Amino acid sequence: MTDTAAPRLLLDRQDGVCRLTLNRPERRNALSEDLLDDLSQALDEIGQSRDIRCVVLAANGPVFCSGHDLSEMPNRSPAEYQTLFDRCSRVMLKFRQIPQPVIARVHALATAAGCQLVAACDLAVAVAEARFATPGVKIGLFCTTPMVPLIRSIPAKVAMEMLVTGQPISAQRAYEIGLVNRVVPADQLDACIAEFTTAITSSSPLVMQLGKQAFYHEQPLSEAAAYQHAVQVMTTNATARDAQEGITAFLQKRPPQWRGE
């Protein structure tokens, strides 16, 4: 990130929103080991920041992200492959683990680990021309790690179709199956993203953190266990200063003043 000649990852912070931009257009924004390390460092810093309320993941160039950098993958040892896939998996988990909601800004094709990035984000907005694919099977490498967030985002049979055929799906199809939240014309992409970031940054950052953590914690639980956990979270939330302020502000018909407490 500090290489000013050719930064692999661009960071821009404004009004509580941090925009992370993949900046390897000449390599179709392939996730090299260095870029994965840059993302990991950036997400660690963002997760610890009280000023950043929302994250937008974007990309430069004609492709959103083409997945792993295949030029780094031939003739590696099993230990080296495991290290690579562990590194990528930790980065993908960090999108879920940081307290701020993350929005994927998908302006073009997202394949393999690039599709994984979209699925790992909390929200996603795509242009109508975008495409999504998990084509690893075509080169003899089943997209097993991209499959992890994919099958948690879309129906199982649709995910299996994408994985075993490797064929891309349209942005509209991605919207229909729940991989993306909105599909918009290219000239409306940033306006749509702004609608989400404005809504997110207008709410309490503490409440947003509690809600995001609870969402992913409760996903794999049984209904009874999820309710048990939700009651605990709601109790913690209700006693927080921001919840008391929000309720009072609503009753007094005034804007709340959030402190993140």
Per-10-residue mean pLDDT of the chain, 261 residues long, equals 70 97 97 97 96 97 97 94 96 97 98 98 98 97 97 97 98 98 98 97 95 95 96 95 94 94 90
User: Which pLDDT belongs to residue 168?
Assistant: 98
Same domain? 232 vs 156: no
**Distance, CA of 44 to CA of 198 (rounded, Å):** 23
Residues 87-93: contacts with CB within 8 Å, 24+ apart?
87/33, 87/36, 87/37, 87/40, 88/31, 88/36, 88/113, 88/145, 89/145, 89/148, 90/40, 91/36, 91/39, 91/40, 91/43, 92/116, 92/117, 92/120, 92/145, 92/148, 92/149, 93/120
Residue 66 in any domain: the answer is yes
pLDDT value of residue 1: 45
Is 259 among the domain residues? no
Same domain, 43 and 149: yes
Same domain, 47 and 156: yes
Which amino acid is residue 234, in one-letter code? M
**42: Cβ contacts below 8 Å, ≥ 6 apart:** 1, 9, 11, 20
The residue range of the domain holding 223 is 205-251
Give yes or no for a contact between 154 and 125, defined as CB atoms under 8 angstroms apart: no
Structural domains counted in the chain = 2
Residue 115 is assigned to a structural domain of this protein: yes
Q: 209: domain CATH number?
A: 1.10.12
188, 244: one domain? no
Q: What does DSSP say about strands 131-133 and 54-59: parallel, antiparallel, or unpaired?
A: unpaired
CATH no. for residue 18?
3.90.226.10
- Verify that 95 and 224 share a domain, yes or no: no
In a domain, 241, yes or no: yes
What is residue 5's predicted lDDT score, i.e. its pLDDT? 61
Residue 101 Cα distances to 36, 124, 201, 213, angstroms: 19, 11, 10, 10
Q: What's the pLDDT at 6?
A: 76
Residues 188 and 222 in one domain: no
2 part of a folded domain = no
